[in-house]
């Protein structure tokens, strides 16, 4: 299968203040945007008024990156900027959930 790989990450924060959420979004843009093979990038916050029973509301910040291949995603995982992002931000993470899927 030669599809794109979607890498979706949902962060639940210890300090979930608007300032802390924006800091994490800014850090996502600084360290995670623009990696080789990236075809789509976004980072943002939970939509506060979408509270249907099916909505998962257990996160504060989401990261969505689509890569053109599995190899590009694997390289991203080992990239120095990705590792630096984790080291600089993980102290405020109460929970991190990652969903990887092939999309086309």
pLDDT digit string, tens, across residues 17-43: 999 999 999 999 999 999 999 999 999
Q: Which domain holds residue 9?
A: 4-47+58-103
| Tokens encoding 45 | 């916050």
What whole-number distance in Å separates Cα of residue 3 and Cα of residue 1? 6
Does residue 53 sit within a domain?
A: no
C-alpha distances (whole Å) from 103 to each of 7, 19, 39, 74, 76 are: 10, 33, 12, 16, 18
With cut-offs at 50, 70 and 90, classify the pLDDT of residue 72. Answer: very high
| CATH number reported for the structural domain that contains residue 15 in this entry | 3.30.70.100
What whole-number distance in Å separates Cα of residue 71 and Cα of residue 2? 11
Per-residue pLDDT, 2:
64
Per-residue pLDDT, 104:
86
* Total of domains in the chain: 1
pLDDT over 60 at 71, yes or no: yes
pLDDT over 70 at 68, yes or no: yes
Does residue 52 sit within a domain?
A: no
| Tokens encoding 78 | 């080992």
Beta strands in 1-104 (DSSP E): 4-13, 38-45, 61-67, 93-103
Does residue 85 sit within a domain?
A: yes
């Amino acid at each position: 299968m030669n599809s794109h790989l979607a890498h979706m990450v949902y962060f639940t924060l210890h300090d979930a203040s608007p300032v802390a959420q924006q800091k994490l979004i800014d850090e996502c843009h600084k360290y995670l945007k623009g990696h080789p093979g990236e075809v789509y990038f976004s980072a943002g916050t939970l939509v506060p008024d979408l509270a249907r029973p099916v909505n998962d509301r257990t996160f504060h910040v989401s990261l969505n990156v689509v890569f053109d291949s599995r190899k590009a995603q694997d390289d991203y995982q080992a990239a120095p900027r990705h590792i630096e992002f984790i080291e600089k931000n993980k102290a405020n993470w109460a929970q991190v959930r990652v969903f990887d899927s092939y999309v086309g």
